Amino acid sequence: MIEQLEPPPRFTGHHPHFPQHHHANPTGQTSNAVNSSIVPIQPGEIGFDGKMLRKAMARKTVDYNPSIIRYLENSIWQRNITDGRSLQPDVLYIPHLVPPHALLSDPVNCVMTKFIRPATNKVRCPIFCVCWTPDGRRLITGASSGEFTLWNGLTFNFETILQAHDSAVRAMIWSNNEQWMLTGDHNGFVKYWQSNMNNVKVYQAHNDPVRGLT
């Protein structure tokens, strides 16, 4: 015969007191002793963090891709300059803007009247040569310290810095197939670079500074 199980009695009114046992950790200290030994860290005692001091800055982006795409689309049906569309001084014609070299009949487009912004490297030193990457999205600068700085062509912030030469970088050029980049420094050394900034060859071409490459 199965016995009926009754629920445990509920305590009403006065609750009995059950003793609490403090369990010791492996070091032999109780939990209360461990908690009392913890000292809270004050905000001023936190280590240096550059992100805490860095101010949020809204970067102005100059996106030239729409004008390039518009120029490529127009080149399908335009036979020459006379087939080009005339632009009027109105905001409705902004989507029809094309690069300056597409408007050879209007040389005033080549006059730069608006200054965008300066870009300063971490190490302030003269810049002797600059060149765009083959895709036109980044700008590479050669400094007197021998460093390459890779700049973003849209937001004008630097992406990476590379110590390329031991002396000042004097010349920089891309090959015709856009696969190799050649650089020359003040000591006469010439280096071959891949598109991922990997140096594959270096030799001393002259005893004097290299001023130009072709």
Burial 94-120 (b: 16+ CB within 10 A, else e): eeebbeeebbeeeeebeeeeeeeeeee
Q: Please indicate, yes or no, if residue 103 is contained in any of the structural domains.
A: yes
Instruction: Return the amino acid letter for 54.
Output: R
- pLDDT tens per residue across span 60-70: 777 778 888 88
Q: Please indicate, yes or no, if residue 35 is contained in any of the structural domains.
A: no
Q: Please indicate, yes or no, if residue 29 is contained in any of the structural domains.
A: no
Q: Please indicate, yes or no, if residue 77 is contained in any of the structural domains.
A: yes
**Bigger pLDDT: 11 vs 132:** 132
**Bigger pLDDT: 48 vs 111:** 111
Mean pLDDT for the stretch of residues 178-201: 91
Report the range of poorest mean pLDDT among 8-12, 53-57, 74-78, 150-154. 8-12
Q: Please indicate, yes or no, if residue 160 is contained in any of the structural domains.
A: yes
Report the range of poorest mean pLDDT among 69-78, 83-92, 169-178. 83-92
Q: Please indicate, yes or no, if residue 33 is contained in any of the structural domains.
A: no
Domain count, the chain: 2
3-state secondary structure 1-56: CCCCCCCCCCCCCCCCCCCCCCCECCCCCEHHHHHHHCCCCCHHHCCCCHHHHCCC
Mean pLDDT for the stretch of residues 188-201: 90
Which CATH number do you get for residue 173? Answer: 2.40.10.480
Domain that holds residue 73: 65-110
What pLDDT is attached to residue 7? 56
